[in-house]
A and B are shown apart, each in its own frame.
Chain A
């Protein structure tokens, strides 16, 4: 991909159908590379103007918790980047209620507004996608 794909005045390729993409995030940040890799794929793929949703469940809910300070472990704190997603027109962010509660977290603990949904609704969200990418 080059910069040209993102140029807003470039001719739009209208031949492709918009598909529903869901990124499923299930891993805690920093201990493994999954969370950061997922975020990078989301940002890169945002250029393709698809219908994107992000789901955070199991330990993935830890990715979007406020108050992360990573100086002490000398790793980049990528949690502020979730706040940039709105500018990339990615506004459908879901947290699974059961996962959140099992970790003692509540809606106000997240760095961006999240839609809190139950496992059953999450299952329906997954079911309704064209493409599910799991991290």
Chain B
């Protein structure tokens, strides 16, 4: 299911995750969010960038419990909780944010 960003066709899998992680850029994230009727705010970007850094360091997308805890550590308890993250990413913070971040689906998510 390819998406088109700035005239370039980018391959994704059947759930909309990037087939090739190196295709990612901010415009790709915005386009993916648009499909979900989601306008990316600074708060969204904070999580997306956090996920990209996490992946670079550990080579996996974190489980939502791990993400929540790690966000809390880095950005404070106001943001390191499920309520805040689910409000930002109603389809599930790990799943939806990972998709916009160009990462594979977190290990363990169906």
Contact = CB atoms under 8 A, between A and B. Distances in A.
Contacts of B109: 1-3
19 contacts: A1-B110, A2-B110, A3-B92, A3-B95, A6-B65, A7-B64, A10-B82, A43-B63, A44-B107, A44-B108, A46-B108, A47-B65, A47-B108, A77-B59, A80-B58, A81-B58, A81-B59, A83-B58, A87-B69
Interface in A71-89: 76-78, 80-81, 83-84, 87-88
In this complex, the interface size class of chain B, counting residues with CB under 8 Å from chain A, is: 20 to 34
Nearest to B73: A87
Contacts of B64: 3, 6-7
In this complex, the interface size class of chain A, counting residues with CB under 8 Å from chain B, is: 20 to 34
A40 interface: yes
Q: Main SS of the interface on chain A?
A: helix
Interface in B36-70: 57-60, 62-66, 68-70
Q: Main SS of the interface on chain B?
A: helix
A113 to B, nearest CB: 16
Contact of B60 (A3, A10, A43, A47): A43
Contacts of A44: 107-108
A9 B81 contact: yes
Given A8-B82, A87-B70, A80 B59 contact: yes
B108 A78 contact: no
A24 to B, nearest CB: 20
B34 interface: no
A87 B94 contact: no
Contacts of A47: 63, 65, 108
A49 to B, nearest CB: 9
Nearest to A6: B65
Contacts of A6: 63-66, 94, 108
Contact of B65 (A2, A7, A77, A84): A7
B57 A88 contact: no
